[in-house]
Amino acid sequence: MAAGLTAVPVRSEDVQGPGQGVCERLQQMGDGDLRVLEAHDVAAGVAPSFYGENEGLRMPAHCLLRGSFGERKGVGGRIYETRFELRMPAAWNGRFLFEGGGNMDGVDWPAHGTLFGRLSPSALERGYAVVRSNGGHVSPGNNSADGTWAVDQQARIDYGYVALDRVAIAAKRIVAAYYGKPAAHSYFVGCSNGGRQAMLVTQKFPSYFDGVVAGNAAFNLIRIAPRFSWATAQLTRISKPGVGAFSQGDMDLVAKGAVKQCDRLDGLADGLIQDVAACRFDPVVLQCKGAKTASCLAAPQVVTLKRLMTGPLDPQGKPYYARLPYDSTPPGWDGVKQADPAAPSLFMDTMRYFASTPPNPTLDARDVHFPGVFKSLESARELVDAEGTMLNSFAPHGKLIIYHGTSDYALSTFELTGWYDRLAKDTGGRTQDWARLFLVPGMMHCGGGKATDEFDPLSAIQDWVEEGRAPDRIIATGKELPGISRPLCPWPKVARYRGGDPKSAESFECS
């Protein structure tokens, strides 16, 4: 138990398990700085829409509890607290799931277990008890991109990892009280910031979860933010009023050029680049011979694009952050109309309020210089980043599935593959016995893109934890590729065509 955490009292005479009036009696469980804000039964039906992710989502009958930790007045008189939502289905399968948040949190996320709409049916509908947290602070207007809260020291710590600790322990105790017994297995799933949280719990709280799923993890957020801020400054240099730096057509040219060169590396020309590590596309082949037209890129665009995909370099020419792969989904640098390097944005707010010590609210993207920028980042990295590779307390009992879309132009695929390769050295080898990384060709951040981006990592991790069936391949489909299925393969393997129906995953082997 974390130091200073007030235990939730579990009294068998008060709570024996689900039944008439039991959910409401959970309101009596508050103690110390834990408050139960509400607890009541919810009938089966359709979930309310939230951020567009719950459209048409079915809910089983369940007990809904909302709670809060540590309400206090912080820097500037702002009120801070760690809030959470816990949903416990009447038809419980004996499992507990913590779903991570997104962006910079500050939002009362609904606890259904959907991985931002990617899991169907949801974990709640499958019978899991599901909890979710706001990350230790409340942002105005449910704006998860707001970073102004990070001027407060305790809020930084809570967002980094303490909120995860407190909510996980409290939620497990409440689950045990409600059902009269603890969960048989505990899981954590998350994507983006939730993916960072998923990786982080294996590193800071190795005994809390049996199985963890981390998707498109912003696991080194404090290095991502300056790289992306730097990219904004690069785009500003060539952006023209009303036109921008690149059009969508320009970015489509880049994706088509990469596919033309690298598609067949896996043995089949199907529009997907399975082997992104082997792809060495150079956009100079798209440079106009004369004036700029719709079928080519201007010389400044080629230079800038290569800079963006490589990232900032140190004086010896080595990247501060791994390169981005060229892929089948167009790079995410289009639509920059009159780029404003001083405007609020997720990554600039991360730089201004969280990464910079002390906070620098007036920071302009053009002021993000390398290598000097890193001098102000070290203390924040210790709080929030999940780059640890010594997991020898988690590995003996836990299982970890990581997935990442190779067309995520905020987070580099090769940062993650580099981390995974270091994991084997620092945690005694045999990494595939307990941790596997799956790359999703063409998928953008947590989903979308020309990709087979629909798959079920929750079933995969459950089977691995409870049945010992390691995921040698995960079958995936996608709305953008109707009728097509592909295997997602554990890194460093890639899906290669071996003959047969080119639309079927069965025609591919992981090798």
211-243 pLDDT, tens digit per residue, is 999 999 999 988 888 888 888 888 888 888 777
Q: Contact, 210 vs 187, CB < 8 A?
A: yes
Q: Contact, 258 vs 409, CB < 8 A?
A: no
Q: Contact, 495 vs 503, CB < 8 A?
A: no
- What is the Cα gyration radius of the chain? 23
Cβ atoms within 10 Å of 210's Cβ, excluding its own: 22
Q: Of 445, 453, 485, 507, which one is the catalytic site residue? A: 445
Does the annotation count 445 as an active-site position? yes
* pLDDT at residue number 334: 63
In sequence order, what E strands does 175-287 have?
185-191, 211-215
* pLDDT at residue number 6: 34
Q: What is the pLDDT of residues 50-92, one digit of tens each?
A: 877 778 899 999 999 999 998 899 999 999 999 999 999 999 9
* pLDDT at residue number 317: 87
Q: Please indicate, yes or no, whether the overall pTM of this predicted structure exceeds 0.75.
A: yes
* pLDDT at residue number 242: 73
Q: Of 105, 146, 408, 453, which one is the catalytic site residue? A: 408
Mean pLDDT by 10 residues, the chain (511 residues): 34 48 89 90 92 85 95 94 97 98 94 94 97 96 90 94 97 96 98 97 98 97 87 87 85 96 96 96 97 97 95 87 94 63 78 84 84 76 92 97 95 95 92 98 95 97 98 97 97 97 98 96
Both tokens of 328, joined, read 């089948």
Spatial separation of the C-alpha atoms in residues 163 and 87, rounded to whole Å: 18
Spatial separation of the C-alpha atoms in residues 408 and 216, rounded to whole Å: 8
Q: Of 122, 133, 186, 192, which one is the catalytic site residue? A: 192
Spatial separation of the C-alpha atoms in residues 314 and 224, rounded to whole Å: 16
Q: Contact, 289 vs 318, CB < 8 A?
A: no
In terms of DSSP H, where are the helices of 127-162? 153-157
Q: How many CA atoms lie within 13 A of 207 on its CB side?
A: 3
Does the annotation count 192 as an active-site position? yes
* pLDDT at residue number 14: 37
Both tokens of 285, joined, read 């082949």
Does the annotation count 210 as an active-site position? no
* pLDDT at residue number 233: 86
Q: Computed from CA positions of residues 195, 200, 201, 202, in that sequence, does the dihedral angle turn out positive or negative?
A: positive
* pLDDT at residue number 333: 79
